[in-house]
Structure 1
Amino acid sequence: MNKINLAGSGLSLRREHMGALMDDTPFVLDFFEIAPENYLDLGGKKARDFRWFSERYPIVAHGLSLSLGGPDPLDEAFLLRIKAFMKMHDIALYTEHLSYCADNGHLYDLLPIPFTEEAVHYVARRIKRTQEILEMPIAIENTSYYAASPIADMDELSFINAVLTEADCGLHLDVNNIYVNSVNHYYDAEQFLLGLPGERIKYCHVAGHDQRSPNLIIDSHGADVIDPVWHLLSTAYQQFGLFPTLLERDFNIPPLADLVEEVEHIAKLQSYWQGEIYKKIA
């Protein structure tokens, strides 16, 4: 694990912002996140620039391609590369999506796993094996989805909880994904959030989305965070305590100052609930 404690508020590390961040990193940025697939084979100046960040800040590796729920064999050679990369850069945490993205080749999307007992056992085995190879616990992210599998013997919340328990891994909480799914699949977002095991939360994403119609949201990570999602994050802190939280923005990238402003909102919420915690124990 990284020698610097992973805590506070963070931002996805984008190459177009590296120069500005190296010149003057805002105080509110406590850590950064990368997709390791984009950094494994870097060389030259790009590798040196990334090393500048990994020497100074905790880094979270948020995987995109492991396909934990997919039918293909678990890519153990890829995991060994991830392990070496994490050791080289003293990476704080590895997280992946509770989904699948490959079937005889990459599908370039994150697809939902059927909510079945058989799938719970299958995915949990693959998570356990991942943890064995990396020699560290990982965290899995609750994902957004648009069409539920017709094969299901439990609901989404029960499925997530069952996988977390059987795999004995951490939860990478994404409050935007909860909100997106609550609108698209007609459930109460706050009730869903409060049904998750707070003691397993290791990390959190907050993000924006595209509202295509009153009943359809696309999880684009291409817009500002909206008030109901901020409310869910605040509720999570109130219910479960504080955990490192990252602003996720992948498209329609605004100026760095605008992103920092949203990260500051995360920090303000954390500061408020930290104060409430102190009041309770004082």
Structure 2
Amino acid sequence: MYSTIKPQSAGLGLRREMLPELLHAKPSAIDFFEVAPENWLPYGGKLQRDFRTLTERYPFFCHGLSLSIGSPDPLDWRFIRQLKQFLDEHNILLYSEHLSYCSAGGHLYDLMPIPFTEEAVSYVANRIRQVQDMLERPLIIENVSYYAAPGQQLSEQAFLLAVLNEANCQLLLDVNNIHVNAVNHGYDASTFLNAMPSERIAYYHVAGHYQQTETLLIDTHGADIPDPVWHLLTQAYQCHGVKPTLYERDFNLPPMSALCAELQQIKTLQQRATLELT
């Protein structure tokens, strides 16, 4: 049904507990949804029928959790084939994954940082190209939050840019992750943001986080979007252009009206930026 989505649009991460309300009526503030395919692939029956009802009506993106693109383990081709079928069946517009890994001789149940090295750049870029060939669609890579950098030879910025260039892939620019990493690792968020290649950015993520100390933020997706992230999103629009923007809220879910208020703020910033850029 859908093949494109307008740059000036705001989306919401779909949680199962939202289904009854959304099946009854979708708020106008929501332009598209995003799901982790792993949270829906195993299920059939009523849950799958309800999910299909939504994917037939509205645009959907997928943001994966378990591709483990940086893992030392071989790629899981069985999972990738299942993923391709899922993306095709539900007419998913975009598929993204984390620039990280979650398996090494077994599942680690967390997103681990890939060493920022030249060797890792080539290794990961090759795996991205293989996955894109199998899926017959772009694999969009997200900049991730991280709390340690084992074996670091390159900066996060240099590593990310090298992977994007060598793999010739697109970027899901997570604005909250830039802010979290900038605070935790002591770099300038604006400088990092401005260095990203505008032409490779497919869409944006924004979210809230938990401030443990003044110099330690935890990427939780469990809070309202704070002012520093709003400011950075405004800068992203000004620097790289207005693009679809997804609000991640994974727990501590407020009422739908509060989620829609955050989406409306995204749209307000998009409208302002669009006027300034024209």
TM range (shorter): over 0.9
1:69 aligned partner? 70
- The residue type equivalent to 2:108 in the other structure is L
8 Å CA contact 1:6, 1:92 repeated in 2: no
Over 4 Å off, 4+ runs = none
Deviation of residue 9 (structure 1)? 0.4
Q: 3-state SS of the aligned residue for 1:16?
A: helix
Deviation of residue 244 (structure 1)? 0.8
Deviation of residue 41 (structure 1)? 2.3
2:121 aligned partner? 120
Q: 3-state SS of the aligned residue for 1:224?
A: coil
1:211 aligned partner? 211
The separation in 2 between residues aligned to 1:23 and 1:132, in whole angstroms, is: 38
1:13 aligned partner? 14
1:222 aligned partner? 222
Q: 3-state SS of the aligned residue for 2:96?
A: strand
1:232 aligned partner? 232
1:80 aligned partner? 81
Unaligned runs of 5+ in 2: none
**Number of residue pairs aligned between Structure 1 and Structure 2:** 277
8 Å CA contact 1:60, 1:91 repeated in 2: yes
Q: For 1:1-282, what aligned pairs fall within 5 Å after superposition?
A: 2-5=2-5, 7=7, 8-149=9-150, 151-278=151-278
Using the size of structure 2 for normalisation, the TM-score is: 0.97
Deviations 1:40-83, CA, capped at 9 Å, x for gaps: 12211111111111111111110000110111001111111010
8 Å CA contact 1:6, 1:31 repeated in 2: no
Using the size of structure 1 for normalisation, the TM-score is: 0.96
Deviation of residue 2 (structure 1)? 3.7
Once the two structures are aligned, what percentage of the paired residues are identical? 56
- The residue type equivalent to 1:206 in the other structure is V
8 Å CA contact 1:54, 1:89 repeated in 2: yes
- The residue type equivalent to 2:26 in the other structure is T
Q: 3-state SS of the aligned residue for 1:108?
A: strand
Q: 3-state SS of the aligned residue for 1:66?
A: coil
Deviations 1:5-62, CA, capped at 9 Å, x for gaps: 2641000011111111222211121100000001112211111111111111111110
8 Å CA contact 1:4, 1:57 repeated in 2: no
The separation in 1 between residues aligned to 2:105 and 2:254, in whole angstroms, is: 36
The separation in 2 between residues aligned to 1:236 and 1:137, in whole angstroms, is: 22
- The residue type equivalent to 2:106 in the other structure is G
- The residue type equivalent to 2:137 in the other structure is M
Q: 3-state SS of the aligned residue for 1:187?
A: coil
- The residue type equivalent to 2:188 in the other structure is D
Unaligned runs of 5+ in 1: none
The separation in 2 between residues aligned to 1:6 and 1:118, in whole angstroms, is: 38
The separation in 2 between residues aligned to 1:148 and 1:10, in whole angstroms, is: 31
